[in-house]
Amino acid sequence: MTSSAPPSDPMTVTHYRRFERTDRLLHGFLMFSFLGLAFTGMPLLFSHETWAASLARIFGGFNAAGLIHRFCAIVMITVFVIHLSRIVQHLFIRKDLGILWGPASMVPQPHDFFELIAHLRWFVGLGPQPRFEHFTYWEKFDYWAVFWGMGIIGGSGLVLWFPELFAYVLPGWLFNIAMVVHGEEALLAVGFIFTIHFFNGHLRPEKFPMDSVIFTGRVTVHEMLEERQDEYARLVSSGRLDELASAAAPRWVYTLGRSVGAVAVTFGLIMVGLILFALLTK
Amino acid sequence: MTRALIRLLICITAIIGPAAAAAAGPSAQAKGAPKPPTNDDCLACHGDAGAVGANGRSVAVKAEAFAASIHGAGGLACVDCHADLAKGAEFPHAVTLKKVPCAACHDKAVAAYETGVHAQARRSGKNLTAATCIDCHGTHDIKPSTDPESRTHHSKLLDTCGRCHGDEAIIKRGNIRVGNVVELFRDSIHGKALTRSGLTVAPTCSDCHGSHDIRRKTDAASRVYRRTVPLTCGKCHEGIVREYWTSIHGAQVEKGSPLAPVCSSCHTAHEISRADVEGWKVAVIKECGTCHEESIKTYRDTFHGQVTALGYSRVASCADCHGAHTIVPKADQRSMVNDANRVKTCKKCHAGATESFAQYDPHGDSSNRARNPFLFYTSQFMKMLLLGVFVFFGIHTLLWLGRGMQLKAAARLRGQGDDDSTEDGR
């Protein structure tokens, strides 16, 4: 599919804008704060492992690792807040209610369910590959998993960060629950992002080794035609396709994206390896 | 060999010469019995630094060393100890003399020694090199233990015991199960105080083990027998041990419990370190966990337990909440974790702790529905969530991977990857 070289130079074919610059930047901050949080947090969750102690030492010990963890948390919470404010802006200032429902919305809709079923059937050769809109069901799951995760992990993290403060409004036994939720949800997030999200976004055969769209913000016309026919058709019929047309992103953006992506994927897979090692040798 | 014979010859002349001269004197034959040799007589041969016996072994005695020794200074004659020569044996005397019977004078010390582990090892035949009097005290140069030069002086004893207990070869040969304890002791707080800081109040081997009657720790009369350990440590750490006897552990030990910890259970015997050292604070948690298995398991699931497991002691460990020497059951009003004292205990670290804050369970157990119902159900929910997500997306991913690879392979077969169309796959 798209990862195989298209007949023409991918840098010269028509591209369509998919992600705004702010969203790409936010994703970049999200990536690095997530990696920082994972690498400074997982040692606690697997504190009985030798690698956990080594990792904690690499980050400068308990105090330094804790500081990095909290710094990354602030970065991620800021990303979340900016994202929320952008949603509010879309809804109330741009009056763009399309983000709540409809073809370009991130909100799960009945067609997502049917596409999931169709996709599964296609996996096993029982039907044709489904056509997708602006966001596929697995992209929506990725988004909402992170959204829920930010709320849950961020919320419980803040409780654990300021227990004395929260004790004014919450009973102390909730800290026990915050601890479990923070750890388990983090394990879910780390496990999911570093395997499923990496696969869906980058490592699956059609995309291997990676999809640059989150760094360049643009997809080629081929990608549009092969992956999002429904969206393409809708944009053509509404006449808005040309509004989104653009040239390829500058070459340095691709280079940067590939480097950053490779680093993130490498570290993510290392963490998955460490976790699997811990779980399998328990 | 010739040299040895020559030396022997010199000896013989040295002894016979004066004897012959005396024999010529008028009073020489006053009594029929032969006169015992004087110290000078003995030193005539043995004073030669190169003197060797017929078997080639050195028989030299340092005259000055003996003179400076407690026995020499006290005017003892050689034959007072080497009594089998007192009756004026013929010279040169027999190659092997009788063992010097220290007990002739030091009866109490020897009697004590006979009850100890060293004498026992010799008697049983298991270790014929186990220490006797001379191994620790020396022979001709024995000084009182109050003399800084003495092998048994407080500052020197470690080296003296270390001649065996710090020597790997001897430890192995003698099957000394406790191992190289002298090496461990040197790095302990006691060892450092003794050897580096020169503290005379710091204990050395004999302070805990005794000197002559050193007994096995399994011997009820031993100073290091379980129940006696607190008394032995208490000789110096009086205040701590007084507290200890009021604790549940002390009370249990007093009752004869074979499990309740004594000082050395937590502090070890020879590696004792400062209690405020990070490594020790973290390591001692494991000691508590050897008996309190359930508690350490639940502790390890908390932030406190995780951080300490990583090797950092800034967060609460067992003793921070339960106390160390004063531990009593939670129900006891004196307990730091008694409901009446919990907030105060939390406040040691969490200055703003309140009653509500103290409802936190530092041993929360997510698998114990009775103790932590909300935690239990939350944990169950999280487990199901993780399982559900990973199983579903695991299958999803594997299927997708299989399909993707299959299409790629098909495309490669068809057009060497030039044509990336997979239309027929749709």
Domain boundaries, chain A: 19-280
> Candidates 3.40.50.10490, 1.10.10.10, 1.20.950.20, 3.40.50.620; correct CATH number of A19-280?
1.20.950.20
B236 close to A (CB below 8 A):
no
Mean pLDDT of all residues in B240-261: 94
**What is the distance of C-alpha B410 from the center of its chain?**
72
For residue B365, tell me if it sits in a domain. no
Contact (CB, 8 A) for B178 and B265: no
Number of domains comprising chain B: 5
**Residue of B315, B413, B420, B423 to mutate when probing chain A, most A C-beta within 10 A:** B420
Residues B198 and B254 in one domain: no
Contact (CB, 8 A) for A40 and A66: yes
Share of chain B above pLDDT 90, in %: 69
Q: Cα–Cα distances in Å, from A26 out to A22, A77, A83, A273?
A: 6, 11, 8, 27
Q: How far apart are the first and last CA of chain A?
A: 41
Q: What is the pLDDT of residue A9?
A: 66
**End position of a domain, from candidates B240, B273, B306:** B273
**End position of a domain, from candidates B199, B219, B239:** B219
Query: Hey, are the CB atoms on A2 and B420 less than 8 Å from each other?
Result: yes
B381 close to A (CB below 8 A):
no
- pLDDT per residue as tens digits for the range B281-314: 898 999 999 999 999 999 999 999 999 999 998 8
Among B350, B366, B422, the residue with its CB nearest the CB of A164 is: B350
Mean pLDDT of all residues in B357-377: 94
Query: Hey, are the CB atoms on A172 and B356 less than 8 Å from each other?
Result: yes
- Over 80: is that where the pLDDT of B22 sits? no
Residues B126 and B84 in one domain: no
Give kind and range of the element (H or E) at residue A15.
strand A15-17
Chain B CB contacts of A45 below 8 Å: 306
- pLDDT per residue as tens digits for the range A119-146: 999 999 999 999 998 999 999 999 999 9
Q: Which residue on chain B is closest to A174 by alpha carbon?
A: B360
The DSSP secondary structure of B251-284, one letter per residue, reads: HHHHTT-SSS--HHHHH-SS----TTSHHHHHHH
Residues B83 and B21 in one domain: yes
- pLDDT per residue as tens digits for the range B142-185: 999 999 999 999 999 999 999 999 999 999 988 888 899 999 99
Among candidate residues A129, A10, A2, A23, the one with its CA nearest the CA of residue A86: A23
In whole angstroms, give the CA distance from residue B56 to residue B5.
Answer: 10
Residues B172 and B229 in one domain: no
Q: Cα–Cα distances in Å, from A209 out to A31, B408, B409?
A: 18, 14, 16
B404 close to A (CB below 8 A):
yes
Tokens 């997510």 belong to B366
Residues B92 and B4 in one domain: yes
Q: How far apart are the first and last CA of chain B?
A: 105
Residues B94 and B6 in one domain: yes
- pLDDT per residue as tens digits for the range B83-119: 888 877 677 788 888 889 999 999 999 999 999 999 9
Q: What is the pLDDT of residue B98?
A: 87
Report how many Cβ contacts below 8 Å link chain A to chain B: 152
pLDDT along chain A (282 residues), means of 10: 50 85 94 96 94 94 94 97 94 86 90 95 93 92 93 96 95 95 95 93 84 88 86 88 86 91 94 95 84
Among B300, B352, B382, the residue with its CB nearest the CB of A48 is: B300
For residue B397, tell me if it sits in a domain. yes
Residues B93 and B127 in one domain: no
Q: What is the pLDDT of residue A102?
A: 83
Domain hosting residue B258, numbered range: 225-273
Sheet with A15-17, strands from edge to edge, namely A218-220, A15-17, A245-246
**End position of a domain, from candidates B211, B239, B273:** B273
- Over 60: is that where the pLDDT of B10 sits? no
- pLDDT per residue as tens digits for the range A188-227: 999 999 999 999 888 888 888 888 888 888 888 888 888 8
Q: Cα–Cα distances in Å, from A211 out to A35, A143, A206, A259, B193?
A: 19, 17, 9, 12, 65
- pLDDT per residue as tens digits for the range B123-143: 998 888 899 999 999 999 999
How is residue A266 written in tokens? 């490498």
Residues B209 and B124 in one domain: yes
For residue B255, tell me if it sits in a domain. yes
Residues B83 and B170 in one domain: no
Residues B43 and B91 in one domain: yes
- Over 70: is that where the pLDDT of B231 sits? yes
pTM metric for this prediction? 0.80
Residue type, B118: H
ipTM above 0.85, yes or no: yes
Contact (CB, 8 A) for B327 and B320: no
- Over 50: is that where the pLDDT of B224 sits? yes
From the number of C-beta atoms within 10 Å of its C-beta (0-12, 13-18, 19+), residue A174 rates as buried
